[in-house]
Amino acid sequence: MPHGRHGARFFQTRSNTMNAVVEQPLADHAAIRQAFAQARAQGLRAKDAAQSVGLSEGAVVAAHVGTHAQPLKALALAPQWFEILSALAPCGTLMALTRNESVVHEKDSIYQGFSREGQVALCNNDDIDLRLFFFQWHAGFAVTEPGQGGAAQHSLQFFNQHGVAVHKIYVRPSTDLQAWEAVVQRFADAQQDYGFVPAKPRAVVKDDASIDAAGLRQAWANMQDTHEFFGMLRHFECERQQSFRLTRGEFCEPLHLEAVTPLLQQAAAAAVPIMVFVGSKGCIQIHSGPVHHIKPMQTPGGADWINVLDPGFNLHLRRDLITAAWLVRKPTSDGVVTSVELFDASGDVVAMFFGVRHPGELELPAWRDLAESLPRA
């Protein structure tokens, strides 16, 4: 299946979600619900509240399935992920939310424009641009909870086998709630009893000296398409940042850890249209276009955020969790494609930035100038 715009598969990883066992089979669901409600009452976000009670977010949501007195209600959904998403178009505008530990990407639009090949699918329309890796999707729930002002907040929430959210979909003020409820009832499955397993340790990165650095550099120089990058890494058994270190200079340069701030501010000031890729383990969500309202923010707990607060697109990125930033140049048949890539302490890429570009087009000179001007490490 074609992957559309460049860089579409950078978060893709594969794991077996079959035969998952319950994360904590003896856990008291009533106790989980009560502890979670107390954590939420203290102002913690759902993910952080789940961590505070020692469980994954998916396990906590699963504990809210069934009849109980807590305000958060959950219905298990049948594992028909593509069919569920494809059925949402009549609902009208919804909010797509994809996040990882460091970045939250929110985009408003209609869920339409789907295509699929096996367990990989695309959603590509004017506003919502998703790469969906269903082999990572393990559990899904329709969730209702109190929102701001006491109004009910409705969402669909999907998790991998470790209880980590891969994608969420939220009702917006203009959403057709009758159509939404029809989708929920169509795919509700009371027989589903989703359980979760702990994540395995990350694979050990091979020593730099064991990598054929000269071969890697030559293969990099010979690339004709950005999608060749992933096969190249597999061929040389090389981790992503490791490849940057080994090709440092002509192809890659380390940037200052806070380079994302001038990137966004200069893109907004000069009206440079950019692409913002943010991924979970099971979904990549992409914004393509200008950004306007850039707002840094520090929270009392010490989190240091840079935000894009635009109508229809919000980005929330924790600068204090970024441990590496790289300027990356990839040769293609359409000329060099330049990206800025951000990593966290685990070594995962948490966000990527490009200039808006379609296959067959040259990179925007304004984007390249902006990226090349960013402060080096």
* Structure confidence by residue, pLDDT tens digits, 121-163: 999 988 999 999 999 999 999 999 988 777 899 999 999 999 9
pLDDT score for 258: 95
pLDDT exceeds 90 at position 21: no
* Structure confidence by residue, pLDDT tens digits, 256-272: 999 999 999 999 999 99
With tokens 């919000």, the residue in question is: 314
Residue 218: CB atoms within 10 Å? 10
Question: Among 258, 286, 261, 302, which Cα is nearest to 106's?
Answer: 286
pLDDT score for 184: 98
Q: Which of 10-19, 136-145, 200-209 has the lowest mean pLDDT?
A: 10-19
Segment 175-204 shows an average pLDDT of 95
For residue 328, report the phi and psi dihedrals to the nearest 5 degrees.
-125, 135
Residue 47 gets the label, from left (phi > 0), alpha (psi -120 to 50) or beta, of alpha
pLDDT exceeds 50 at position 102: yes
For residues 255, 261, 262 and 268, what is the CA-based torsion angle, rounded to 10 degrees? 140
* β-sheet bridge partners, residue 90: none
Query: Taking the chain, what is the end-to-end CA distance rounded to the nearest angstrom?
Result: 38
For residue 118, report the phi and psi dihedrals to the nearest 5 degrees.
65, -125
Domains in the chain: boundaries: 208-290+319-372
pTM of the complete model? 0.91
Q: Pairing relation of β-strands 139-146 and 152-159?
A: antiparallel
Segment 308-313 shows an average pLDDT of 98
Interatomic CA distance for residues 377 and 370, integer angstroms:
16
pLDDT score for 13: 36
Interatomic CA distance for residues 109 and 105, integer angstroms:
13
For residue 127, report the phi and psi dihedrals to the nearest 5 degrees.
-125, -45
Task: Provide the pLDDT confidence category of residue 210 given band limits of 50, 70 and 90.
Answer: very high
The DSSP secondary-structure symbol of 35 reads H
> Would you state the structure tokens that stand for residue 345, as one six-digit string?
């302490």
Of 40 and 300, more confident: 40
Task: Provide the pLDDT confidence category of residue 27 given band limits of 50, 70 and 90.
Answer: low
pLDDT exceeds 60 at position 26: no
Q: Pairing relation of β-strands 165-171 and 294-298?
A: unpaired
* Structure confidence by residue, pLDDT tens digits, 221-247: 999 999 999 999 999 999 999 999 999
Segment 77-95 shows an average pLDDT of 98
pLDDT score for 57: 97
Interatomic CA distance for residues 14 and 288, integer angstroms:
26
Interatomic CA distance for residues 248 and 190, integer angstroms:
53
Task: HSE, CB side, 13 Å, CA atoms: give it for residue 1.
Answer: 16
* β-sheet bridge partners, residue 141: 76, 157
The CATH number that domain 208-290+319-372 falls under is: 3.40.1570.10
pLDDT score for 20: 37
Interatomic CA distance for residues 55 and 110, integer angstroms:
33
